Amino acid sequence: MKKVLIFSFILTFVFSCSIDNDSDENAAYTDIIPIQSADFPDYFDFGRTHEITFNYLKPSTCHSFYDLYYVSDENTRTIAVVAYVQVNDDCETLTNESVEGSFNFRADEPTGTFYTFKLWQGTDDNGEDVFITYEVEVQ
């Protein structure tokens, strides 16, 4: 998960730089948003592409989906939502704005293989990353 934090820092640095020092009204950065839930099939068909849907809570009206943080390590996939945040005075905090997204996953490993998906849900009181984990077998 350290990669998520480093990636977030780099994106924040890149997107928050502005050549206009007179105004911050167009300032923007990226933010990592926890995934609340996902819908995985009971199994993957070998060689077939499957659509995986997920839900996350949009924190404010200034947040918009930017990309997925998606890291593949052998048969484990670590995933989090990356949001683009436009900073302005019109931002409103949202408390229960659920957003659905999806991604496609192709099962290329042989039958009997398990894929593990670790969806980032934030950090606990000790600052440790928390994941919801799904394991899906290829049949």
Domain with 106 in it: what CATH number?
A: 2.60.40
Give per-residue pLDDT as tens, 33-92.
Answer: 999 999 999 999 999 999 999 999 999 999 999 999 999 999 999 999 999 999 888 899
Residue 75 located in a structural domain:
yes
In 3D space, the residue among 38, 53, 49 whose CA is nearest the CA of residue 120 turns out to be 38
List phi, psi (to 5°) of 109.
-85, 155
Whole-angstrom distance, CA of residue 36 vs CA of residue 15: 26
- pLDDT(5) > 60: no
Into how many domains does the chain fold? 1
- Residue 17 is predicted with a pLDDT of 54
25 domain-assigned: no
Domain that holds residue 118: 2-18+30-138
Burial of 85 (0-12, 13-18, 19+ CB in 10 A): buried
Q: Which residues does 60 contact at the CB level (< 8 Å), separation at least 6?
A: 85, 91, 92, 93, 94
Residue 34, in any domain of the structure:
yes
Q: Is residue 24 part of a domain?
A: no
Residue 117 domain-assigned? yes
Whether residue 24 contacts residue 75, with contact meaning beta carbons closer than 8 Å, is answered with no
